[in-house]
């Protein structure tokens, strides 16, 4: 298998590895799922800390909206189907990109009583170098908030 660097200027057919044989080309994430102990507590945290909006859909299901994506929330005690094979709280590890300067993010996290567990630290994002801070949500999911350099 040939290594394809993640830091390409743009993803798309012209950057596609010619050795790939699948005719399917994924464009982006639409949503992901977090299994959570308390949907209301999770919504409050992500609203206060990250400015996400609660959305209720499809018979009372709940999601957190931001940009063009969403995070669907599944209750741990009664997860929806289909679901991940091992749908448990605290298994998430996500990186979220913001244009808010990280110094302002750090100040806001501290004001909200969120403990930063690492950062700011240099990392590699999908399209280039990023600077990140890490913290945990109420279910102990690892949350990385980053700026592209």
Instruction: With H, G, I as helix, E, B as strand and everything else as coil, classify residue 108.
Output: helix
pLDDT at 62: 97
Distance CA 109, CA 121 (A): 16
- Which strands, in side-by-side order, build the sheet including 31-36? 31-36, 69-75, 61-66, 53-57
pLDDT per position as a tens digit, 23-74: 888 888 899 999 999 999 999 999 999 999 999 998 899 999 999 999 999 9
- What pLDDT does residue 2 have? 38
> Mapping DSSP to helix (H, G, I), strand (E, B) and coil, where does residue 64 land?
strand
Residue 126, pLDDT above cutoff 60: yes
Active-site entry in 41, 53, 77, 144: 144
What value does the mean pLDDT take over residues 103-111?
Answer: 98
Check whether 10 has a pLDDT greater than 90.
Answer: no
3-state secondary structure of 76: coil
99 carries an active-site annotation:
no
Is 118 a residue whose pLDDT tops 60? yes
């Amino acid at each position: 298998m040939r290594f394809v660097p993640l830091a390409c200027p743009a993803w798309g057919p012209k950057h596609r590895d010619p050795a790939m044989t699948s005719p399917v080309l994924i464009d982006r994430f639409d949503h992901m799922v977090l299994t959570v102990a308390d949907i209301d507590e999770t919504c409050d945290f992500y609203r206060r800390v990250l400015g996400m909006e609660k959305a209720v859909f499809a018979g009372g299901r709940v999601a957190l909206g931001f940009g063009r994506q969403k995070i669907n929330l599944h209750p741990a005690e009664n997860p929806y189907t289909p679901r991940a094979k091992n749908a448990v709280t605290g298994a998430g590890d996500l990186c979220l990109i913001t244009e808010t300067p990280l110094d302002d993010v750090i100040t806001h996290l501290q004001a909200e009583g969120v403990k930063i567990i690492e950062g700011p630290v240099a990392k590699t994002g999908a399209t280039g170098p990023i600077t990140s801070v890490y913290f945990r949500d109420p279910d102990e999911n690892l949350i990385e908030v980053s700026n592209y350099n």
